[in-house]
Structure 1
């Protein structure tokens, strides 16, 4: 082997732009880690080389092969059983992104093998691997209905949630059965967020007595709710203040329903009822009288704002995952910013910068500093910062932070938080 080749090759630390088979062979024989990693990432690498690298001792090399769209299916079949979860995660992401181009009735034999691998990865022992698949294929109509149903029944909300919310392959019967049987917190709420929720599914959500899911359903203008189902909600709603606002703003409320709602909501919400709905004269006069009656009785309302609730919880030592998770999943951005500011000792401005940058790693580091769980960090990424799916930082093994403490401190320092908190 020519020593001049490696002097030229490793001197510039890059493979040639036009990669020849001979270049790849020499890199494989050289055992140079950096060059093998670069070769593993090249889409123009010979398939034989990528197959060989799929067996490499370095998990970073195997991970790059797993992510390489040009890797042969034989390499993917080796890697789906890799002992490194990160490698399987990269493979899961790649295969998931191939599915939209694979209509079920037009697949080649190789594509069928790829689809089969994805089915196996959907049963991976690591929730993180399954969650990657769920996020990527949630709205995809070309996966099998069997795969969609398996993911929808997963025991982790990070896995089942995206499928329950977005999959077009789940029937109303599937959704109703899952609402009735799932023990996963947040599963019914995920169904309630679907772009279209048919009346039988809405009935099942209301029957679940899951208050968060019912609140989400009420706020969803794409949810069809039958009048008798709405009556059941109104009967329970007086003592559940988080339902009041979405109830008032529901489209197509009957005059009878509006009168019932007005008996327990605040003056300002009665006014909103009058502004946002077409009322007959009798109902409009009745609501006006109701408002006047509240004024005369001195019912000046002072509902604590969500941010006041956050401050009170912090002062009482109750501010933690449960409260921040609820604020995040209901899109209360200001409350989440305040909570993280109090818990992490960071300025609201710095936190907003992280959200605006849609930095999944920055958000994870911020939540870690605030003593929150990685699941809460995922909720903040998803519902507050709207981090794009490919950039989401997912929990390791379903619960743990996937970064080292040094990495998280680096991201905090990048946004000027660590120093600010220490001064």
Structure 2
């Protein structure tokens, strides 16, 4: 059968789970790409054949090897991972350097959060020149050390990669400081919006020195947990009125911070009054809601669901919340409008991929103008790489391409 002139017969042998390893190795050099791809997907294929196929001329064959090898990694025990065959690691290293972005992307997505992935392979993927490859690893991989991340930041990664680092869980103080010293506005915005990031007070001061010229930093700064009193006073001197109201309504400010805020507001009102214009910050008095207030707090998801049901979940509502930095509500609103689970919406935004974020907004029935703002503000995509409207107002991709973008995340087409 393996010597049959019919590729379909040879492929049947290549696919069979009980085919002997020596026959699978023989078929790894078959002239038909469909046969070699079947060998690449067969779990019984010997590693020598996998290594050969990892260098195959056809992208679909190399992609199949990447998917199979990566699927094997989670099944290995810690002891097995420590003794992993040299050929398996060599296969992964070969695939991590593949010329096809698709192959490297498959590998990155499969290995991004595995605790036993080879460090060298993860490091190679983390330094990839394509954001779609390096971003999942930079955002999730527990293999990357602070030294790895600091080195990547110092060497200037691909645009958008630093935002992925800034969005990692429990960013260390040293890494946060390296991000704050960069000129990457989007990365600093992501860092400030990351509640688990460890930002030292001197690092925060450095950010505040530049913050008046960086409007996207204002909302996450105002909502940053455990704000020092000095930082509160500095913020009150330059943020917009709407964000000042948010700052005033915070209930977690210590007495010293509340006093600093009250004084800053008085000075700001005094300056405005001397200029002849009244200032109305609205809302509750400085220090939070009135004592004894039992006004219930509506969760972002509940508010989005209610407004959607009432027909009031409009683009302007979402845009206003996005400007104010209310990320949770915007994600919930996009979930309601697109009928995509909020966890997948969050994952799409977290890729920092312009095409994926644009396709999400299209699915939600929003304009390309909103999609552009979502790329910049919500996904922290640099302006140079964000997608622009076609002819000023139209989406730049075809409907089929946008459906394909969403299918990559397991989203089915609307009925």
Q: TM-score range by the shorter chain?
A: 0.5 to 0.7
State the partner residue of 1:371: 396
Determine if contact 1:134/1:159 at 8 Å carries over to the other structure: yes
Change over 3 Å in CA distance of 1:167–1:338 after alignment to 2:
closer
- Alpha-carbon distance, 1:147 to partner: 2.1
- Alpha-carbon distance, 1:225 to partner: 0.4
- Alpha-carbon distance, 1:115 to partner: 1.7
The alignment status of 1:174 with 2:148, answered yes or no, reads: yes
State the partner residue of 1:255: 229
Change over 3 Å in CA distance of 1:370–1:266 after alignment to 2:
closer
Q: 2:74 aligns with which of 67, 76, 100?
A: 100
Q: 1:279 aligns with which of 245, 249, 253?
A: 253
Q: 1:78 aligns with which of 52, 63, 87?
A: 52
Determine if contact 1:343/1:371 at 8 Å carries over to the other structure: no
After superposition, give the CA deviation of every residue in 1:164-184 in whole Å (9 maximum; x if it has no partner).
Answer: 222222221221111011241
After superposition, give the CA deviation of every residue in 1:289-309 in whole Å (9 maximum; x if it has no partner).
Answer: 7289379734689xx877489
State the partner residue of 1:118: 92
Query: Which ranges in structure 1 are unaligned for 5 or more consecutive residues?
Result: 1-24, 311-324, 345-366, 393-410, 417-423
State the partner residue of 2:328: none
Determine if contact 1:327/1:336 at 8 Å carries over to the other structure: no
Determine if contact 1:36/1:61 at 8 Å carries over to the other structure: yes
What is the number of residues matched between the two proteins?
324
Determine if contact 1:164/1:190 at 8 Å carries over to the other structure: yes
- Alpha-carbon distance, 1:142 to partner: 1.9
CA RMSD of aligned residues (A): 4.1
State the partner residue of 1:64: 38
Structure 2 counterparts to residues 317-328 of structure 1, below 5 A: none
State the partner residue of 2:375: none
- Alpha-carbon distance, 1:282 to partner: 5.9
- Alpha-carbon distance, 1:378 to partner: 11
Query: Which ranges in structure 2 are unaligned for 5 or more consecutive residues?
Result: 283-315, 323-347, 369-389
Normalization by structure 1: what TM-score?
0.65
Higher helix share: 1
Determine if contact 2:229/2:256 at 8 Å carries over to the other structure: no
State the partner residue of 2:297: none
State the partner residue of 1:297: 278
Determine if contact 1:104/1:144 at 8 Å carries over to the other structure: no
Q: Which moved more, 1:46-55 or 1:154-163?
A: 46-55
State the partner residue of 1:131: 105
Normalization by structure 2: what TM-score?
0.66
